[in-house]
Amino acid sequence: MTHRTLQLTFAIVLFGSAAGFTQDAELGKRLTERWCADCHAGSGHSAKARQVIPFEAIAAKPGVNAELIANFLMLPHSAMPNLPIRRSEAEDIAAFIMQMKK
């Protein structure tokens, strides 16, 4: 790959994520299984699951969208631990949560 092609590829990747076309709900699902399921698994999924609002209920809230969820994940919040996730991961997770909306 020439230097120029590399630059071009990089530009496309950057543009793609800026435009929000790269959300990967499948990856988001895997991330939530690792980082969120203990608390947010919902009804009787895991013995460890505490009584925290399940993702389905979050997705069903009026006015909730992927942008809000991703922003929430990136900001400090007190009731829930702050997780070391990247913005792109927050967006993948948000896409996955919004898929649960019926």
Instruction: State the residues that interact with ligand HEC by CB under 6 A.
Output: 32, 35-36, 38-40, 52-53, 58, 69, 72-73, 79-81, 83, 93
Write the CA distances from 70 to 8, 18, 46, 61, integer angstroms: 28, 14, 25, 15
- Which of 18, 63 has the CB closer to ligand HEC? 63
d(CA 51, CA 83): 19
- Which of 11, 33 has the CB closer to ligand HEC? 33
Write the CA distances from 9 to 5, 12, 87, 92, integer angstroms: 6, 5, 20, 21
- Give the nearest residue (CB) to ligand HEC: 36
- Which of 22, 64 has the CB closer to ligand HEC? 64
CB of 10 to ligand HEC, least distance (A): 28
Tokens representing 85 are: 């996730």
CB of 22 to ligand HEC, least distance (A): 18
